[in-house]
Homo-oligomer: A and B are copies of this chain.
Amino acid sequence: MKDRQNKILDAAVSLAEEGGFDNVRQRDVAAKAHVALGTLYRRFRSKEDMLVAALDREAQALEKRMRETPPKGATPGERVSSFFRMATRGMIRKPMYARAVLRAVASGVPEVAGKIAVYHGRIAGIIIDALRGPDGPDVTVEPPSNYESTVAAMLQQFWFAALVGWSASLITEKQVAEQTSFAATILIRGIPLEG
């Protein structure tokens, strides 16, 4: 059941936090989760699949938290920036884990594309809710407009790009936050001019 699955993800996350992608050895994950290797592979098609699942589990939690206490801010730009600051801190607080997950996402392994798409959709929903603000309709009620989907998708890409840059030591955590909120500001200001 879900129980075993969560135990496996817990073990994977904990190993990733300690030593990153390479430290997540499938045999070790299985041992730490008190589960057979075969079970692990019944649940997750590959190591990348497993790490992306861990990421999505976290995104679910984040989704819930954001629904309970939506980001404050007078303008869409402020609210979106506030969300990204929070999300960035959440990732970077566990640097090794973050790197491991980024590597899994960027691996391009085809079997995980579906899980990544789900994750993307989840984050897009959060972003759109932040755009609309606490008084706007929920995404699950009012489907996103084309404009909203585009902004959400591009912002996510920007964020991802910044995180990869951070992972490769090209930019700092501070710059990740700055660049992303900068992108949010100009994207939100910029897109309406186009369409």
Residues on A close to B: CB < 8 A?
20-21, 99, 102-103, 105-108, 110, 112-113, 116-117, 120, 153-154, 157-158, 160-162, 164-165, 167-171, 179, 182-183, 185-187, 189-190, 194
Contacts and interface: CB of A to CB of B under 8 A. Distances in A.
Contacts of A103: 106-108
Given A182-B194, A183-B154, A102 B106 contact: yes
A164 B194 contact: no
21 contacts: A102-B106, A105-B164, A106-B106, A106-B167, A107-B107, A108-B164, A108-B168, A113-B170, A116-B168, A117-B168, A153-B165, A153-B171, A154-B179, A154-B183, A160-B161, A160-B164, A182-B190, A186-B189, A186-B190, A189-B190, A190-B190
Given A106-B107, A154-B182, A161-B164, 19 more contacts: A20-B108, A21-B108, A99-B108, A102-B108, A105-B168, A107-B107, A108-B167, A110-B169, A113-B170, A153-B170, A153-B171, A157-B158, A157-B179, A158-B158, A160-B161, A164-B164, A182-B194, A185-B190, A190-B190
Complex copy number for this chain: 2
A183 B161 CA distance: 13
A18 to B, nearest CB: 16
Contacts of A185: 190
A187 B113 CA distance: 29
Given A103-B106, A194-B182, A117 B161 contact: no
A86 to B, nearest CB: 20
A107 B102 CA distance: 8
B117 A170 contact: yes
Given A106-B103, A189-B190, A194-B182, A157 B168 contact: no
